[in-house]
Amino acid sequence: MAPRVKTHSNGNASDPGKIRYWISFDLGLMSDYSRFYEWLDSLGAEECGQGVATITSTKTRDQLSSEIKLVLKEFPSARVYLISMQHGGRFVSGGRKAAPWTGFAVSSASLVDEA
């Protein structure tokens, strides 16, 4: 297991005027992640799992959305979901697709009564 690394100090509740955002992203296999990673690093983003980062910022949701669209303008199939506690989540780029877990739940219709 890799050691836990503390990267940037990117704020907390004691930072006045800052809002915490989570950014979930999937740029696709053929995309160049370097520009997007550079943008995340410039904001002091912290890693929260594969394809998920968190930041605190004084920027509005619309400002961050505009920046993301500009950074990813060459990747029309990129999917980015921006989340804040105040406004919930929405896609900034791309949209939903079928979930990989679809069809795994056992429905009551498929249960057989063996009594």
pLDDT at 34: 93
Q: How far apart are the first and last CA of the chain?
A: 48
Give the confidence band of 6 by pLDDT, cuts at 50, 70, 90: very low
CATH number assigned to the domain comprising residue 37: 3.30.70
Please check whether residue 65 lies inside any domain of the structure: yes
pLDDT at 9: 44
How many beta carbons lie within 10 A of that of residue 7, not counting itself? 10
pLDDT tens, position by position, 63-110: 999 999 999 998 888 999 999 988 899 999 999 999 989 989 987 665
30 half-sphere exposure, CB direction, 13 A CA radius: 4
pLDDT tens, position by position, 14-58: 577 899 999 999 998 878 899 999 999 999 999 999 999 999 999
Q: Which domain range does residue 24 map to?
A: 19-93
Total domains present in the chain: 1
Please check whether residue 14 lies inside any domain of the structure: no
